[in-house]
Structure 1
Amino acid sequence: MSAAAGFQPGGEPDEGGALRTVDELAAAAGLTVRTTRYYASLGLLPPPARRGRMAWYDDNHLARLEMIRALQDHGFTLQAIEKYLASLPADAGVEDLAVQRAMLTSWTVGEPVELTRRQLDQHAGRRLTDDEVALIEEFGLLRRVADERGVTRFVPVHGFDVAVELLQVDIPVAGMRAAGEAIEKHMSALAEELTSVLHHEVVEPWRRERSHSQHSREDAAQLENTIGTLRRLTLEAIVRGFQRSANKVITRSLDRG
């Protein structure tokens, strides 16, 4: 595994942050010890510092675990996560990882939940047919994942409840697909453009400033909070912008009539 390239086994912890046992590290990241050890065994974490028989983990290990969780929220497989982490500079510090995570943090609200097939029906509020499950997957509002034992689980994506309700409306499936394709087409283009603005107008100036003066962890945390606020305001602006545009379409239609 190459994700921990540049880190020497038994080396001293980076960043001079607090040292943690694997139990404390897992608790800080909101993971189980078993999962944390599993990620470490895949090479997704740099080796811990060894002092006698004890293994110690620092803030850099915690930042990488938080990065892994952010990538998983986007549906990345562990293999893809390993590849992404391997692409990061070997000397990437806590602040660098915080900025990367801020750009990757999901725009949806709440933690993703893995459900069994029965739990999926309970979440939907009714028994879903296999065809309905497949259709919701096609809409991109549900994905399948396999746990450590290879058991299939279902992860509802933000908008899943809307899809379930929509399936009960007397609308042809072809119409649903056409509407979904239109939304995906325009939202993807908008997301690309807004992400570019965020990168060039917020993140890059912060990095250029960092080249002249060392930012603290507090600075990185403030940037992450700023990006979070921009996400919320952007979502509100998109909804209101669509409402304005839809009303203009109605007005033009009435004028033509």
Structure 2
Amino acid sequence: MTTGTEETPLTIDELAARAGVTVRTVRFYGSKGLLPPPVLGPRRVGHYGPGHVARLALIEELQQQGMTLAGIERYLRQLPADLTPHDLAIHRAVVASWAPDAVETVSRRELERRAGRPLGEEDVERLAAMNVVVPAGGDDYRVDAGLLRLGVRLLDVPLSQEAILAARKVLVEHSRAAAHELSQLFRGEVEERDARDVKSLSAHMHPLVVQALLTTFQRSLREELSEWLTGSGTG
């Protein structure tokens, strides 16, 4: 995984402070293979980068969703080796959306704290148009916690609101179609099992299917964009 050169390299102490964990935890994750080794600099001092920060944030999110250490190891082992910090952030956003009760009511101040930035009225209107937030009366908003990070990032994307909503419609429609077909495919496998087996299978398949869909979509999108740029003569 690329550690990145656009930011100042971090020592292990700085990485631990940035991620909100202990140095011992960083070393433990490294020994388990959950974190790639640091880049050795002068005097053989290990340096860490944005990729390590993003990986630690993803591990934290997986833990918050109740995944065991063994489950986290399996999840990370199946990720492509060339994921960028941005790719890892997307995976973290998807993991956050697994929470069954992702919609919460928060104040405007809490909304901005979670967004990590001030939000103007136009920003809130755009988030509402994307169904990320819904006015709940007064100074309160109902927030889809799983979509908030993505919605905030979209505020800076140089696309019109119409284009973003059209893209959302495409993704929702195709996601529902894929979910329906996959549920039909798995239904035959669980019809003869009892309720506990079905619940266990669902718990295991949910993150794996989400990960497979996300990885496949990322690769397909890269191929489409590459072909488009090559065809337009800008690549």
Which TM class, normalised by the smaller chain length? 0.3 to 0.5
TM-score by length of 2: 0.47
TM-score by length of 1: 0.43
